[in-house]
Amino acid sequence: MEAAIYDVDHHATPGLFIRFVVLMLIALTLMFVEHRSPSNTLPVRTLFSIIGYPLQLAVDAPFRAYNVTEGFFADQTRVSKQNAELEARLLEIKADYRNMQIIKQQNERLRSLLKISKRPDFSFTMAEILSASDYRGQSVVTINKGTRDGVFVKQVVLADGDKAQSKGGNIFGQVISVTPLSAQVILITDLQHAIPVRNLRTNKRALASGTGKPDVLELKSIVAESDVRDGDIFVSSGLDGLFPADFQVAEVVSNGVNYVPGDPFANIKARPLINFQNTREVLLLWRNAEPEITPPPAAEQSENTNNATPEAENAQVAGAVQ
Amino acid sequence: MNQNIPRFTGAVWLTMLIAEMFNNLPLSGEWMVWKPDWVALALLHWALILRQDSSLFMAFFMGLLTDVLSGSLLGQFALGYVMVAYISVRLGLRMTPDAYVQQFALVFIVIGLFMLVNLWISEILGQASGGLAYWGPLISSLVIWPFYHWFLSYFYTPRKVA
């Protein structure tokens, strides 16, 4: 009996330790390299996300099937009612759209009169969220569109808002990595994400940074004496050149504005205008290439500077008057 | 002495893929806190069943896959899973594989170490720490372990070795 116990060789694992050490070293090296410059490990990442893509599809399949069958078995009367409602809504939106186009034309004309550069034009594609990971405050989702559909890194992603008045494109996040069939999108609530915003009511600028929690954004660099109220809507300011301007981002929660004595900045909590838990579809945004209209004003300016003597001219005029 | 072999070719890999799918299940917020790491538990299971025949390379591969799917630093889960596989093989050889008390102790130690290493790496990277809630999966791993162990027992058969 005793012999049986002592006969077991606890160390009869030839090569296990060597393999362990080698694999640990490889893992540490990978981590080090990726931490230094994430682009170096991109091939490995791409390879593994291609391998993992079927898995994500498989996980997503039951939910998609449920959504499809739910629609299929839904009550006939309910569907026809919903259909009627949607058609009515579509009519409204069509009328709105007609109106919008007129306003857009007017706007463009006014802008060209004022010599302001044209507002960028966008085109959209819908993508579905395949899987969401919420690993340690890092909020990243995988979508089912990739380089094959023209998705690129740093592309802006929008989603439908959760409130009636904020329906349509609210800022959801941006693409951080792309593979041929899928892309990863970092949410604006991610701990390491921040987006420049401005208050829709007062035009005061701020920075909305993520907290890692799906329903809280912090509005930073707002000086304590500035005017921010509960329910203020913040939209993207477009100052970073990445996010387009004037898309809704966040709303100040009730009692979200707090002042700490001695702190020059207000402590403001806001709520993203997207319900990240329920969002299944997102919009990818492309800036359409626009005809260059900036050269004319620049040329005029250079003419002015070529004359280079507006003061002198003024002085002459003044002299003539005198 | 009895030796366990996988029930069919690729059975171990199949369980790994199933575990990876469980890892990627979208859960709502309050359940997310209790989400155990299914791949780590499956590696523990195979370390107890196949003992020294379980593969560290597989652990490494699954780790890289988890890293990419969960968006963590590449190599973080690879390191953790290789550690889980190695330590549970070494400790598993020293214990009675069928004794539940010893199994629970092993799960607690190995998963606890795994989570601790992950926590260190996250802290170094400056990612948020969830306070005590971070250790929720350790409890749920212990709770789920007997059922999971039983479920995965389908994938191997004992074989008599002379």
Q: What pLDDT, on the 0 to 100 scale, is given for residue B96? A: 83
Q: Indicate the domain borders of chain A.
A: 15-71, 77-119, 123-287
Q: ipTM of this complex > 0.95? A: no
User: Tell me: the pLDDT tens digits for A19-55?
Assistant: 999 999 999 999 999 888 877 888 888 888 888 888 8
Looking at the structure of chain B, the number of domains it has is 1
CA distances from A124 to A86, A282, A283, A286 (A): 21, 10, 6, 6
**Minimum-distance CB partner of A135 among B20, B65, B72:** B72
Measured in angstroms, the CA of A148 and the nearest CA of chain B are apart by 19
Inform me whether the C-beta atom of residue B143 falls under 8 Å from chain A C-beta atoms. no
Gap between the Cα atoms of A68 and A271, Å rounded? 31
Domain boundaries, position B54: 2-160
Residue with tokens 């399949």: A61
Q: Is A12 in Cβ contact with B52 (below 8 Å)?
A: yes
User: Tell me: the pLDDT tens digits for B141-153?
Assistant: 999 999 999 999 8
Tokens of B43: 């590696």
The beta-carbon contacts of B22-31 under 8 Å, at least 24 apart in sequence, are: B23/B66, B23/B69, B23/B70, B24/A55, B24/A56, B24/A59, B24/A131, B24/A133, B24/B69, B24/B70, B25/A59, B26/A59, B26/A63, B26/A131, B26/A132, B28/A277, B29/A214, B29/A277
Inform me whether the C-beta atom of residue B16 falls under 8 Å from chain A C-beta atoms. no
Q: Which CATH class is domain A123-287?
A: mainly beta
pLDDT band at A164 (very low <50, low <70, confident <90, very high): low
Chain B neighbours among A 249-308 (CB < 8 Å)?
A: 277
User: Tell me: the pLDDT tens digits for A66-111?
Assistant: 777 776 676 778 888 888 999 998 998 899 889 989 998 888 888 8
Gap between the Cα atoms of A236 and A195, Å rounded? 7
Question: Which residues in chain A belong to E strands, given as ranges?
Answer: 122-135, 138-143, 156-160, 169-178, 183-187, 194-199, 205-210, 217-220, 233-236, 248-258, 267-272, 281-287
Radius of gyration of chain A (CA): 28
CA distances from A118 to A105, A265, A290, B49 (A): 11, 35, 8, 68
User: Tell me: the pLDDT tens digits for A110-159?
Assistant: 888 887 777 777 888 888 888 776 555 567 888 888 888 889 988 999 88
